[in-house]
Amino acid sequence: MDAIRVRGGKPLRGKVRISGAKNAALPILCATLLSDGESRLRNVPKLRDIDTTAALLRFLGRDVQVDAPEVTVAAGSTVKPEAPYELVKQMRASVLVLGPLVARFGRAKVSLPGGCAIGARPIDQHLKGLQAMGCKITLERGYVIAEGPGGGGRLRGAEVMFDVPTVTGTENLMMAAALASGRTTLVNCAREPEVEELGRILNKMGAVVDGAGTDVMHIKGADRGELAPFDHAIIPDRIEAGTYMAAIAASGGDAIVEGVELDDLEAVMVKLRQAGVEVTSEGQNVRIRREGPLRPINITTAPHPGFPTDMQAQMLALMCLAKGESVITETIFENRLMHVPELQRMGASCVIRGNTAVVQGVDKLYGASVMATDLRASASLIIAGLAADEETEVRRVYHLDRGYERIEEKLIGLGADVARVKGADA
């Protein structure tokens, strides 16, 4: 497996263009299951998670062409409404086929995703919502089997209140509701921009979704066979954008991040400014400049529009270099501070107390061989490496390839000294 080698100490300069949002593309690809005909997605990032979703859709019987940044999905001649463990274990977001499959075909068999490196990540809220819509849910040998009313019938609109706002849970139920009879009301929904984006798609397809991006949504479903295919360009990836912003700041650079949806990144930009980073924008371009010392900041992750858990690791890496103590609390996932021990190996001074990391900024980080257990943790190690003295080797690059398109190329474009080392990982 590959590693990424980073020689730190070069301030990032120039421009970097942001790709389409992974977490918007995944549910939208799954939404293609709701209609027949050919849907076309544009601005799709070239990522391993997209390839996994394409493989899953093909397994389900769809005809999928991936020619990044375009993907087309058409109905094939057969349907096998089953997501096997082999694919689900590679990517938890595979659970997003559950809602559309049972709504469109009356039945779905989807492997339970199990736990993952960042926490237990249950799907009880997805299942509770589907049950409220008339689904019979059985758990059998690691699989969820969902069946429409009366052995495969059309789902019924329902009122569903989420106990916790869940992004993929909200998306699964939105897709199910898009083909349910009558009206569905979803309360305490996730308000992430990716949820709002899925609402746009379902409206394009012919469902009536009102309130996507707010905490209460009303959805009027269409009949099976009534939803139309769509053509859509995916929104920019706010987490990729935030990651490059943190990287530029960590390196003491001055560079422009192009193609950013500013409204989606308010929390990150506010925190960067508090940390002493100059953040200015013009249209969809954001200039990040950091000359002086970094100030410590406190961060508590929260559902959107709060500070995104997917940016916690990257900001924590940045705070390792601030002048003073930062307190960073992770509230969404119970095990998402796995980057801290790796950052410690690079000279960071952090202690973990429960779900909080207390970071004492140091003057310098040092290059080391490090590895991370998840995507965003890996990004935080790259950021630390860019600011560190000498050479850092970030192993298990396959995590990065799940969610950052051409990361080393983009960093090289900003003047970083990075390279992919083939077969270096142990």
Residues 6+ positions from 124 with CB-CB distance below 8 Å: none
First-last CA distance in the chain: 7
Determine if the peptide bond prior to 81 is cis (ω within 30°): no
Nearest-approach distance from CB 47 to ligand EPU, in angstroms: 10
Nearest-approach distance from CB 303 to ligand EPU, in angstroms: 7
**Does residue number 143 form part of the binding site for ligand EPU (CB under 6 A)?**
no
Considering only 3, 6, 19, 23, the residue that binds ligand EPU (CB under 6 A) is 23
**Does residue number 164 form part of the binding site for ligand EPU (CB under 6 A)?**
yes
**Opening angle at CA 403, ends 10 and 387, nearest 5:** 20
Closest CB to ligand EPU among 61 and 119? 119
Considering only 147, 237, 240, 310, the residue that binds ligand EPU (CB under 6 A) is 310
**Does residue number 98 form part of the binding site for ligand EPU (CB under 6 A)?**
no
Closest CB to ligand EPU among 50 and 388? 50
Closest CB to ligand EPU among 58 and 92? 92
Nearest-approach distance from CB 78 to ligand EPU, in angstroms: 27
Closest CB to ligand EPU among 165 and 221? 165
Of the candidates 265, 288, 267, the residue with the CA atom closest to the CA atom of residue 276: 288
**Does residue number 309 form part of the binding site for ligand EPU (CB under 6 A)?**
yes
Show the site string, 396-425: x = touches ligand EPU by CB under 6 A, - = not: -------x----------------------
Considering only 375, 384, 386, 397, the residue that binds ligand EPU (CB under 6 A) is 375
Nearest-approach distance from CB 415 to ligand EPU, in angstroms: 26
- Outline where 32-184 has alpha helix (H): 48-59, 85-88, 98-105, 124-132, 149-152, 167-177
Sign of torsion over alpha carbons 335, 337, 340, 343: positive
Interaction residues for ligand EPU, span 312-341 (CB under 6 A): 332-333
In this structure, what are the phi and psi dihedrals at residue 91, rounded to the nearest 5 degrees?
Answer: -155, 115
Nearest-approach distance from CB 95 to ligand EPU, in angstroms: 8
Residue 199 and residue 224 in contact, taking contact as beta carbons nearer than 8 Å: no
Nearest-approach distance from CB 120 to ligand EPU, in angstroms: 6
- The CA-atom distances, in angstroms, between 78 and each of 112, 153, 211, 310 are 24, 19, 35, 37
**Does residue number 168 form part of the binding site for ligand EPU (CB under 6 A)?**
yes
Stretch that binds ligand EPU, among 104-112, 121-129, 217-225, 240-248 (CB under 6 A): 121-129
Closest CB to ligand EPU among 202 and 321? 202
**Does residue number 235 form part of the binding site for ligand EPU (CB under 6 A)?**
no
**Does residue number 306 form part of the binding site for ligand EPU (CB under 6 A)?**
no
**Does residue number 121 form part of the binding site for ligand EPU (CB under 6 A)?**
yes
Closest CB to ligand EPU among 197 and 321? 197
Considering only 41, 60, 93, 277, the residue that binds ligand EPU (CB under 6 A) is 93
Residue 381 and residue 397 in contact, taking contact as beta carbons nearer than 8 Å: no
Nearest-approach distance from CB 426 to ligand EPU, in angstroms: 24
Cβ neighbours, 10 Å, residue 86: 11
Considering only 53, 125, 184, 314, the residue that binds ligand EPU (CB under 6 A) is 125
Residue 273 and residue 297 in contact, taking contact as beta carbons nearer than 8 Å: no
d(CA 80, CA 396) in angstroms, rounded, equals: 33
Closest CB to ligand EPU among 47 and 321? 47
What type of residue is 419? A
Considering only 166, 181, 326, 329, the residue that binds ligand EPU (CB under 6 A) is 166
Of the candidates 289, 310, 291, the residue with the CA atom closest to the CA atom of residue 242: 310
Residue 345 and residue 370 in contact, taking contact as beta carbons nearer than 8 Å: yes
- Binding-site size for ligand EPU (CB under 6 A) equals 25
**Does residue number 218 form part of the binding site for ligand EPU (CB under 6 A)?**
no
Q: Could you give the residue numbers annotated as active site?
A: 116
Sign of torsion over alpha carbons 181, 183, 187, 190: positive
Per this entry, what is the length of the chain?
426
Residue 204 and residue 253 in contact, taking contact as beta carbons nearer than 8 Å: no
Residue 243 and residue 18 in contact, taking contact as beta carbons nearer than 8 Å: no
**Residue 210 burial (CB < 10 Å; 0-12/13-18/19+)?**
middle
Of the candidates 26, 74, 66, 42, the residue with the CA atom closest to the CA atom of residue 232: 42
Instruction: Catalog residues that contact ligand EPU under the rule CB under 6 A.
Output: 23, 26, 92-93, 119, 121-126, 164, 166-169, 190, 194, 309-310, 332-333, 375-376, 403
